[in-house]
Structures are given as C-alpha cells and as structure tokens.
Structure 1
Amino acid sequence: MTDIGARTDDANASPFGSGLERLTDGMAVPALLGAVLLAYFVVPFAVFFAQVGSVDVIGGLADPATRDAIRTSLVTAPISTAAATVFGVPLAYVLSRANFRGKRLLEAAVSLPLVLPPIVGGVMLLTVVGRYTPIGSTAAALGVPLTDSYAGVILAQTFVAAPFLVVTVRAGFDDVDPRVEEAARTLGYGRLETVRLVSLPLARNAIAAGIVLTFVRALGEFGATMMVAYNPRTMPTRIDVLRIARGLEAIVPIALALLVITVGVVALVQVLVGSARRY
C-alpha cells in the first residue's frame, strides 16, 4: 500500500515542481547562463518586429529594385545549394570513410572558407575568375562572364556556403555504423548500391540539415558576393544599398522577406524530415 501511495503521489506531482527540482539540482547556473544568450538572440528579433508596424512593408517590397533582388536570391541560392549538394555529399562520404595520405590537408581545405572573412574569400575568388584572369577572360569571351553576373553570385555563394554542407553531412556519415554497410556488402550490394540504399537513408537527417544550412547561408551571403558580383544585386546587397541611401527603416521590408523565406525553408525541411522519420 505504501508503494502504491508513493506512486500515486508521484503521478499527481506538479510538472512545474519536477522541473524546478531539476533546475535546482545543479542546473540553475547553466540554465541562467543559457538564458542570457537566448535573450541576446530573441531581443533583437522582438525589437525588429516592433518596428515592422511603423514601416510600409508592402510599399517597400513593391520597389522594382527590391523585387529584382529577391528574385535574384531565390534563383541563385537554390542553384548554389544544389551544386554544393551534388559535389559535397560525395566529398563528405569520402572524408568519413576513406583513409589516405593528405586527408588532414583536404579537411583543412574544406574548412578554410569557414574561417576566412567572406570578403577575403571574394578577393581570392577574383584572383581565379576575375575579368582579367585566364578563366574569367575566356568565360567572358564565350558570353558567360563570371563576375557581375548570376554566375558570379552562384560562385560566391557556393564558395562560402558549401563547407557547411560538407562538415554537417560528414558528421552524419560518421554516425552511421560501418558494420551496417559491411553487412549490406556481404548481401551482394556494391559500394554505390550500399551508399544509395543504406548510408544515404541513415544519414538523411544530417543531409537535410546540411542542405538547410547551405541554403540559408547562400541566401544571406554578402561579403564574397559583393566582391565578385555586386550586380545583379541579391537581397543582402540590396539591404546594404538601402541602408546607405535611406537608413535602417528602409531595410525592414526586404529584411523581413529574407527572414520569412529562411524560416519557411527551415520549417518545411523539419516537416519533411519528420514525415520521413515516421515511415
């Protein structure tokens, strides 16, 4: 009877009480420190949305230059993400599974765009694809200029954003037990079949996360894009132009559009990944 009564008391206990007990059980200090950083994240969003009501958002988005910038970003960012995915997922798998001389150097090369200031990455890209370089001049002669063009925007976005996909997807492949792949091989599957039927499905959450990170990073890329292709203007470059010409209030409409697109993509991927997990 005592055990039953104790279990009944536990079942009737307030969830808030148990939560408070967990906080006081060595979690209060970490929770407090984490709350400071969380507030630092949330407060700027709250202040930004408080300003939205005093700004003509519809009028700002109706500006032809702003609409062109939104269109440019929505065209180039998916292409950059697709290119990063096509080439980055295989690279991530090689880094996860293969051992070879120079692997550490290759890993460092993948990480370089992550640690470089984007504007420096743009300068480096110009030394390869600039108008007066062999590659840049040849491409321009063929009618496909690699600077101040959609191609230039895509090159800049991919350079800065693709490492996020490689690093994230590699972590996903690292979490896949190699013995599962070996078991598939013993059943007669080849290497590519094993990757397609076993490794990719098991790492799909990491791949989805990598694609999302790459897309939102490409969508928000400014520094390298400004150096390689200031025109056609993307959403971030348009924001910079508006800030200089008209002040902070003028950037609210396009900044809101950028935020809505980013949050919408993240939410959509979460729904798709969650649906796939249930089946």
Structure 2
Amino acid sequence: MSRVEQRLEGDSDGTARERPRIGAGRDRLPGGLAVPALLGAVLLAYFVVPVTVFLARTRRVDVAAGLADPAIRDAITTSLVTAPVSTAIATVFGVPLAYVLSRASFRGKRLVEAAVLLPLVVPPIVGGVMVVTIVGRYSPVGAAAAALGMPLTDSRAGVILAQTFVAAPFLVVTARAGFDGVDPRLEETARTMGYGRLRTIRLVSLPLARNAIAAGIVLTFVRAIGEFGATMLVAYSPRTMPIQIRVSFISGGIDAIVPIALALLAIAVIVVVAVQLLVGTPRRY
C-alpha cells in the first residue's frame, strides 16, 4: 500500500487499517452463481470449440513450409513492426486524453467523448475511407507527404495510420475506466503532501490505474495486429497478416491460411501473457 493510501485510510495516529479480504478461502462456486455460470459456459464453449477444431486441423498442414513462404514472412514482419508502433502512439496520446476525460469538466466534453467512440461505431472499412480522405495521395496532406518521399498510403505509415484509427479508442476507453476507479481523495491527499499535479499522476493515478491501462494496451495491440478493413483501404500493400490471410484463403482455402493464422494467434497469446506477467494480478480486498 502506498504512503498516500495509508494516510487516507489510516487511523488518527497515522496507522494504516488492515482491510479484510472478502471471499478469502472460498474454493467453491456459490449456489447463487450456478445459473450465471451455466449461461457463461455456453458462450465460453462457443469460444473454445472453434479454436480447438481449428488447432486439430493443423495436424495435416505443413506449418513450417507455410511459414517459409516469403509472402507470409513479409506479412508477419509488417504486422510485427506496425502494430507495436500503433499501440505506442495510442498509449502516448491516449492515456493523457483518458485522464483528462476522467477528471475534467469542460464545454464540448460530450463531443470529445463522441469523437473517441466514433471509430468503434463505424465499420472498419468505413473508417478506412475516412482515413483515406485525409491522407490519400490526392489529398493535400497525402500529396505533400508523397512529394517528400513519405507516402501515407500503400506503405507501413499507412498501415500504422489505419491501425491507430481503429484501435486507439480501446486504449482511451479502458484507461478512462481505470482512472474513474481511482478515488479522487487519494490524489487530493497527495496534493496536500506537496505533490504537484504531474507528480501525483505519475506516483498515484497511473500506478492505481495500471491494470486497466495494461488491459487497454493489450486490446489496442490485438485490435491493431488483427485489423483488416481499414488497412485494406489505406495500405493494401505491404500486406499485413490479416490481408495475407485473406489472399491465401482465396487462393488455397482454409489449409493455406493455417500457418499464418497460427502465427497471429501465437503473437496475440504471447502479448497477453507478457503483459499479465509485467503488470501482475490485481489485488483483491
């Protein structure tokens, strides 16, 4: 427990109170949760069964030979380069925006919130059209970038722009939920102890909201690396993994996409596990 938390929750003599752990020692599902658990199990089965059947199909496919295909290797490289960049951009700009939306009240806030949610509402292919109208070769921005030798379409820059547009809102929404869950009194207490605003955010707000932020980073990365619709319009080439999956499926059917689909699945699992190990398990009180 941090010094600020101890001061807020401590007794008058400054001693921190020990909060009881709710549900400690429970090893069985409460009877009242039987029906929700059964309903949830149906959806869980719908998640697990297709994955299991797909993995069983990999036994008859030469995965190593498929991954040796230059087109597939190039697609994997493109996705592994662009998705982390898109996620980093979303984090650097999205976390501050999430904090402002959580803590500030200002004129036009509803419009800002709507703008953040817009990429989540529109279909990805429509989002791609919107991005192209700004960065396309015949737009002022796109033409200027192309003249400088840095085209914003049909390039890795275009992939990053498309991925960021559709994936960054996940970071903002999730991080804001994390900041909303931080008791403002903790920040106020930190301020009374002489912490400035930025130091309070760094030492109090960010650590307490880190699990939500980490979840947002995972969602953003997975959404970015799996993006197809917007990327296809903004930057069909170089191909990302989802676009290559589509091309391989058209030319060779399901067996042709097994190697790259496995690679995409493995990358997503590795990222999720890595973030969980770095962030840790949220404390339960």
TM-score over 0.5 (shorter chain):
yes
What is the aligned partner in structure 2 of residue 149 from structure 1? Answer: 155
- Is residue 159 of structure 1 aligned with residue 165 of structure 2? yes
List aligned pairs for 1:1-279, cutoff 5 A. 19=29, 22=30, 25-274=31-280
CA distance in 2, matches of 1:36, 1:44: 13
Quote the Cα distance in structure 1 between the aligned partners of 2:52 and 2:84: 29
Q: Which blocks of at least 5 consecutive residues in structure 1 are unaligned?
A: 1-14
Report Cα offsets for 1:65-113 as digits up to 9, x if no partner: 1000000000000000000000000000000000001111110110010
Instruction: Work out the CA distance in 2 between the residues paired with 1:27 and 1:185.
Output: 42
**Whole-angstrom CA distance in 1 between matches of 2:222 and 2:32:** 36
Identity of aligned residues (%): 77
TM-score, reference length from structure 1: 0.90
Quote the Cα distance in structure 2 between the aligned partners of 1:245 and 1:55. Answer: 16
TM score, norm. by length of structure 2: 0.88
Superposed displacement of residue 276, structure 1: 9.4
Cα RMSD, aligned residues only: 1.3
Structure 2: unaligned runs, 5 residues or longer:
1-26
More displaced stretch, 180-189 vs 54-63: 180-189
Q: Secondary structure at the match of 1:148?
A: coil
Question: What is the aligned residue count?
Answer: 257
4+ runs of 1 displaced by more than 3 Å?
Answer: 25-28
Query: Residues 13-42 of structure 1: CA distance to partner in whole angstroms, max 9, x if unpaired?
Result: xx7xx54xx3xx343332222121111111
In 2, Cα distance between equivalents of 1:269 and 1:251: 27
Between stretches 209-218 and 31-40, larger displacement belongs to 31-40
In 1, the alpha carbon distance for the partners of 2:279 and 2:97 equals 23
Take 1:238 and 1:166, find their aligned partners in 2: how far apart are those partners? 29
1:188 to partner: Cα distance: 1.4
Q: 1:44 to 1:275 in 2, by over 3 A?
A: closer
Higher Cα radius of gyration: 1
1:100-133 superposed Cα distances (whole Å, 9 cap, x missing partner)? 0111111011001011110000001111111100
Retained in 1: the 8 A contact 2:211–2:282? no
Q: Which letter maps to 1:32?
A: L
Q: Distance in 2 between matches of 1:115 and 1:39?
A: 27
Name the one with the larger helix percent: 1
Instruction: Find the residue that maps to 2:60 and give its secondary structure.
Output: coil
Q: Distance in 1 between matches of 2:95 and 2:280?
A: 21
- Give the SS at the match of 2:238: coil
CA distance in 2, matches of 1:150, 1:275: 35
